[in-house]
Amino acid sequence: MNAGEFVTVLGSSGCGKTTVLKMVNGLLSPTAGEILINSRPLVDQNLVQLRRHMGYVVQQIGLFPHMTVAKNIGLVPQMLNWNQDKIVSRVTELLKLVQLEPAKYADRYPSQLSGGQQQRIGVARALAVNPPYVLFDEPFGALDALTRIELQKEIKHIHDTLKDKTFMFVTHDINEALFLGQRVMIMKDGQIEQFATPEEIVQHPATQFVSDLLATTRQNQGLWGRSE
């Protein structure tokens, strides 16, 4: 992966895509090969420090129900001893980034939000301390189709806006993978079938598995032509 790149990891359940994500943030160690971050092997790095430079967004979201939106987003900055003015400023900035009006949403509790709004807060929280890397583990899997498409457009816009962030996004949805990813890693049974741009994958599938995967999806609306 290149700095500032948006990579999607596509595959069915059990293919190893979440395992790859866990190896990237040091929760699992590879049994073969190695993971490099900033051109340095992961095993040579301080994992605690490394994880502080990684945001993490999951399907379950995991917002603290007894804390307001502002408190949820500001939790890690508070743990890192940011001063209160800086925390408030960062929370306001991030709420605007995820298209939620600060005055309207900062003091709400998670139970007062829709699923899509909660996931936006999850993204904002992952970005709270301005990490260079953000990992997404099927964050939109539990959302309805319309909300999911809306959030896909927003997360793409966020990446384009921030420019310097490296996003790694796991999904089982080929439409999502091709729409979001500047490059797409397609996995099967723990192996990488193809790692290329969406255009390269569509025009030149590397294996029969990739070709079959595309063939089953070609008639789905928006596979290559969704408007942003």
Q: Give residue-wise pLDDT tens across range 155-185.
A: 999 999 998 899 999 999 999 999 999 999 9
Instruction: Report the alpha-carbon distance of residue 221 to residue 228 in Å, rounded.
Output: 14
Q: Can you give the pTM of this predicted structure?
A: 0.87
AA letter at 208: Q
Q: Are strands 36-37 and 40-41 parallel, antiparallel or unpaired?
A: antiparallel
Q: Label residue 102 by pLDDT band (50, 70, 90).
A: very high
What class, spelled out in words, does domain 1-53+131-220 have in CATH?
alpha beta
For the segment 103-129, the average pLDDT, to the nearest whole number, is 96
Q: Give residue-wise pLDDT tens across range 44-60.
A: 888 888 888 899 998 77
Q: Label residue 193 by pLDDT band (50, 70, 90).
A: very high
Residue 32 CA: distances (Å) to CA of 2, 137, 156, 168: 22, 23, 33, 21
User: What is the pLDDT, as a whole number, of residue 9?
Assistant: 96
Instruction: Report the alpha-carbon distance of residue 64 to residue 3 in Å, rounded.
Output: 31
183, β-bridge pairs:
7
User: What is the pLDDT, as a whole number, of residue 220?
Assistant: 56
User: What is the pLDDT, as a whole number, of residue 55?
Assistant: 93
Least Cα distance to 47 among 79, 25, 73, 16 occurs for: 25
Question: Of 49-53, 66-70, 129-133, where does mean pLDDT reach its minimum?
Answer: 49-53
For the segment 199-206, the average pLDDT, to the nearest whole number, is 96
Q: Where are the domains of the chain?
A: 1-53+131-220, 63-130
Residue 201 confidence (pLDDT) above 70:
yes
Per the prediction, the chain carries an average pLDDT of 90
Residue 222 confidence (pLDDT) above 70:
no
Q: Give residue-wise pLDDT tens across range 18-39.
A: 898 888 888 888 888 888 887 7
User: What is the pLDDT, as a whole number, of residue 36?
Assistant: 83
194, β-bridge pairs:
186
